[in-house]
Structure 1
């Protein structure tokens, strides 16, 4: 029981750090802005699934999805180093991808999310 409580507290602390990092990143420009004819839910679920592919991302595979305002979603990795805000735009979606740096992992995540558009 004690390990479960400690694990839950650690996860809560890490989520708070990731959220703060993501909010800071949103004040700047996205790494890439894309559009899709698909609904935000369909795009977000696809990105989440793609980012969880261990064959592509190894131990860094991870994709978590949370709702945001106006029927949109944020899909993010552990630590919030890579994340996507998917929002409604007309009949489709607007996709803002944020990455900590222009690195090969950032480009791999971008390539994976581009297949969902």
Structure 2
């Protein structure tokens, strides 16, 4: 039980750091803006699942999903360096992908999320 509590506290602390980093990134331009005919929840769940693929991302595999205001979801990595805001847009959804840098990891995460559109 104690390990579970400690694990929850660590995740909460990481979430706080990631949250401020993500809010700062949102004030700028997304790395890529995309659209989908699918519902926001379906797209967000698919991205989360894809980002958790250890064969693609190794130890950096991680995808967490949280609801955001105005009917959508944020899917993000452990440190918040890569995240996507998926919002409802008509019958489909809009996808705003943010990346800390223009690296191969950023491109790999973009490719994984593109398969969900």
TM-score class normalised by the smaller sequence = over 0.9
Matched residues in 1 for 2:73 and 2:50: separation? 15
The within-5 A match list for 1:85-104 is: 85-104=85-104
For these two proteins, the number of residue pairs brought into alignment is 117
TM-score normalised per structure 1: 0.95
CA distance in 2, matches of 1:42, 1:6: 31
Q: Quote the offset at 1:8 in angstroms.
A: 2.6
User: 2:10 matched to which residue of 1?
Assistant: 10
Q: Distance between the aligned counterparts of 1:91 and 1:111, measured in 2? A: 23
Report deviation, 1:2. 4.3
Pairs within 5 Å for 1:19-30: 19-30=19-30
The answer as to 2:70 corresponding to 1:80 is no
Unaligned runs of 5+ in 2: none
Structure 2 counterpart SS, 1:34: strand
Segments of 5+ residues of structure 1 without an aligned counterpart are none
d(CA) in 1 for partners of 2:16 and 2:112? Answer: 26
TM-score by length of 2: 0.95
Change (3 A) 1:42 1:3: closer
Superposition RMSD on alpha carbons, in Å? 1.0
Deviates more, 1:95-104 or 1:2-11: 2-11
Q: Secondary structure at the match of 1:7?
A: helix
